[in-house]
Amino acid sequence: MSRVSLNDFARRFAESRTAVISLMISLVFVACALFAPLMSPTNPYDLTQLQLTDALKPAGSKRMLPGEEVRANIRIEAGTASVEPALAAQTRQSITAESCGASCLSIGVQPEGTKLASLQIRNLPAGAAVEGGKKHIVQPWWTVDNPEGSKVRIVSNSPLPENFTVLAIAKSLDQETDFVFRLGTDGFGRDMLSAILYGIRISVFVGLVAAGAAMVLGTSFGLLAAWRGGVTDAVIMRAVDFMLGLPALLVGLAILAILGNGVSKVVLAIVIVQWSYYARTARSFAISELGKEYVEAARCLRLSPTRIMLRHVLPNCMPQIIVLFTLNIAAAISLESSLSFLGVGLPLTRPSLGMLIASGYEFIFSHKYWISIYPGVVLLVMIVAMNLLGDRLRDLNNPRLDR
């Protein structure tokens, strides 16, 4: 297309404000798809980051670090205390001990400000007690619930012995972090915002690749039918009629039931469903182009049929095929989401929007609306925007609406 007619096309496109808004929304979604790893706060595919304590949190809640148990042996030798962890496991918190006089030993937890559920001291020397602590009925264990300042003091009426060892067990409370789940979490504790961004990425990818592959395949068949005519035409077009007669979702379900799920199989299923639209459109426009004199001129110049079809006829059919492509991306996304919602599409570990909606479906009656609603709204906006965009392109290509 020449520069002049391209400008003209853009101007006529911009006459519809809806179309411009749709185009912008579509571009935002494409950007989301491209830059999802940069934009999303967490990586929803990294299963090691998930913790069940975060599951089903509403929008705006903060991520919690679960409480942990820390054990350490505190050895007192000649009045100085040394701490050695009793467990090999890596912990965030550590136990500290310092002397606070001849008959006093203070035991606390680092870092400062850690809230403890309880701090238990075992194996105290005779005569010693823990301030505010309760002794175990049988064992020489002293426990302080919710110790103030996360510190306890071992005190004794007489000075403490020179050498002894106690075991301290600190249990900390769940800890709030600065990380906010802006759209809440799903049943696995996945951040919904990240899951939606990655879901858009998968949906847009599947939509573009599937619609694109269907376009190439269908257009080739359409051109072949238009060029060869006769039996070839009849066979291809009856296959097209057959495909158009079957409901898309049912065909998709059947194909995935045979092939199993996975991104490539969903793409294949959508291609099998959608190629017929392109074949029919490409054939009808190619036939009308083949009747024009420039094709006869090309044949008179003894160009090869392949060259005439690809270089002369195809470019003149492309505007209509592009319109169909735009509309079919939306249809492909919607089909993929439907299949995923029905559980035959993409695997649970790499959720698309449809899969997210499906996974929230079981919680929707317990007021955990965000898991289904947010991906649903995103999907709705995306499909409506792409449909409006395609409609506008189709209107621009329709000479009857041309003023």
Q: Is 124 helix (H, G, I), strand (E, B) or coil?
A: coil
Residue closer to another protein (CB basis): 149 or 315: 315
For the window 204-243, what string marks contact with another protein as x by the rule CB under 8 A? --------------------------xx--x---------
Sheet holding 69-77, edge to edge: 80-85, 69-77, 164-172, 116-122, 141-145, 134-135
Q: How far is the CB of 240 from another protein (least distance, A)?
A: 15
Q: How far apart are alpha carbons 15 and 231 in whole angstroms?
A: 45
Alpha helices, H only, 246-313: 248-259, 263-290, 293-300, 305-307
Residue 346 identity: L
* 296 scored as a contact of another protein (CB under 8 A): yes
Near another protein by CB under 8 A, which window of 80-88, 188-196, 309-317, 348-356? 309-317
* 5 scored as a contact of another protein (CB under 8 A): yes
Q: How far apart are alpha carbons 52 and 354 in whole angstroms?
A: 22
Near another protein by CB under 8 A, which window of 131-139, 172-180, 182-190, 288-296? 288-296
* 310 scored as a contact of another protein (CB under 8 A): no
Residue from 206, 195, 183 nearest 337 by CA: 206
Among residues 134, 136, 228, 292, the one that binds another protein under rule CB under 8 A: 292
CA atoms within 13 A on the CB side of 143: 10
CA distances from 358 to 13, 137, 179, 223, 301 (A): 37, 52, 26, 40, 59
Whether a cis peptide bond, with omega within 30° of 0, leads into 111 is yes
Q: How far is the CB of 232 from another protein (least distance, A)?
A: 10
Among residues 302, 367, 400, 403, the one that binds another protein under rule CB under 8 A: 302
Q: How far is the CB of 322 from another protein (least distance, A)?
A: 13
Among residues 293, 367, 399, 400, the one that binds another protein under rule CB under 8 A: 293
Q: Is 85 helix (H, G, I), strand (E, B) or coil?
A: strand
Q: How far is the CB of 397 from another protein (least distance, A)?
A: 14
Q: How far apart are alpha carbons 400 and 389 in whole angstroms?
A: 19
* 159 scored as a contact of another protein (CB under 8 A): no
Q: How far apart are alpha carbons 153 and 79 in whole angstroms?
A: 15
Q: How far is the CB of 292 from another protein (least distance, A)?
A: 5
Among residues 178, 300, 401, 402, the one that binds another protein under rule CB under 8 A: 300
How many residues sit in the footprint of another protein (CB under 8 A)? 22
Q: How far is the CB of 304 from another protein (least distance, A)?
A: 8
CA distances from 136 to 118, 129, 143, 277, 339 (A): 14, 12, 8, 78, 59
Residue closer to another protein (CB basis): 235 or 348: 235
Near another protein by CB under 8 A, which window of 51-59, 114-122, 292-300, 359-367? 292-300
Residues near another protein, by CB under 8 A: 1-2, 4-5, 230-231, 234, 292-294, 296-303, 307, 312, 315-316
